[in-house]
Structure 1
């Protein structure tokens, strides 16, 4: 895990998280955990009420020890942000002044852009009880505020850090809807394979009297195909469905699986093969739909 010094040299170092006069060690630890979840590691504290280091903070950090170990303490906010080029102040209250106000999504992208340009950035978070005062907000370049319910706008400090850390990480993804867990790579099914499923399923349903009354069969077949084509199946998925349909050919409640299965399967396979290879002698083509 890179040290704070290494991160300062990196042009894409994430924003520094600055907590102004945090009160509880447990809250600092949960902030460290939230930061580590989304790839941030540099935490600065301005006059923590209960001092530093804090074993309560380390316990609450849930193994985010690299954040706890690298935490720096400052006597005042001006010193904590002195080496930074751009700083956001988080607040839930309406502020008088001329500072630009951004939402968390825009703020995340702004931080990413500035970090990409080699700037050192930071995000200020205030006290648990009342946040940042006007003088502290005045030291920031811009304000970021969250679209919360005005009737209950107060966020836990770790929640606020989590939201901004998430937006920072998301802003660096090529696809912002991506997750760390993706489904297996599967080849899409060909039309030939899909049509094979249609024919197999139609034959199985026909044998069981599904298409009733007979006059409605064309419409029922159209509906069935419409449902199956909309899903956009992959080849392995079609194999699963073909296996399910095949089991309808081989088994029944009266003859469940295990009761003469190989013999019945072979019989069905021979019948299907004979049907597929039988020459058309009617002169009018097959009478199957």
Structure 2
């Protein structure tokens, strides 16, 4: 079934997609980075010296924010890979187009500068950053929430940078070390996503949540829900209508690995119980 999907892939032209990065989009990226970093620095200023701030609170907020950013990166990546079109006004050219380009020319991201690489993530994080600086910060709960969300969107901002590094042929020794110990996205781990038809391992901050989400079938279930509600075919714009329809039909018949394992465990338990009952009756 996988070969059928791969044979039917009809992707878009990489050069056409690359030309979609217009001066207007670049201006938006620059503004997003400046606004986002200004808000993050202002949040640090607000929390600095706050009596409710403690080392354990900050450490737990940063670590949980890192984990949460991995999920956010996967969810946003899944949405941009799966739904919509590069021809959509504003959102299509600014957000969907880079993902379409990346699947037909995965090395393109290594040629993007800091602004093109990170502008999108800064743009989507600005509303959360505004919420963080507007919180009252008058209790440990409020401070933790602000620090957690501020940390999460900071790591969301770094996601595309980590993603870019995972595609480098020769990363620096420091980057390679962090990839090797899986503290940022490792190339071999991310390569699983770049196997056609690009329908798994969406988390690209660090990738820790990829296997658990695949085991419970999180994204495949989400796709079935969206399709049932809207009638849309997932990945139609990315891999072509024929391949997308083939993939949708094949995944609809496949249960999540965790469900399969649970069923196998139940069946083995039932078999053991039957054997035990037979022995007792004998």
Q: Structure 2 length as normaliser, TM-score?
A: 0.25
Higher helix share: 2
Q: TM-score, normalised on structure 1?
A: 0.24
